[in-house]
Amino acid sequence: MATESGRALSGKHAVITGGGRGIGAAIAAALAGQGAKLTLMGRSLGQLEERAAALRAVGGESCEVQCEAVDVADEASVVAAFASAARRLGPVAVLVNNAGQAGSAPFLRTDRALWQQMLDVNLTGTYLATRAALPDMLAAGWGRIINVASTAGEKGYPYVSAYCAAKHGVIGMTRALALEVAHKHVTVNAVCPGYTDTDIVRDAIANIREKTGRSEAEALAELAKHNPQGRLVRPEEVANAVLWLCLPGSEAITGQAISVSGGEVM
Beta strands in 34-173 (DSSP E): 37-42, 65-69, 92-97, 143-148
Task: Give CA–CA dist 47/3, Å, rounded.
Answer: 31
Task: Give CA–CA dist 130/42, Å, rounded.
Answer: 15
Which residues lie closer than 8 Å to 235 by C-beta, 6 or more apart? 22, 23, 25, 26, 196, 197, 198
3-state secondary structure of 231: coil
- Which residue, 117, 243, 255, 259, is CA-closest to 196? 259
Task: Give CA–CA dist 141/131, Å, rounded.
Answer: 16
User: Catalytic residues, which ones?
Assistant: 163
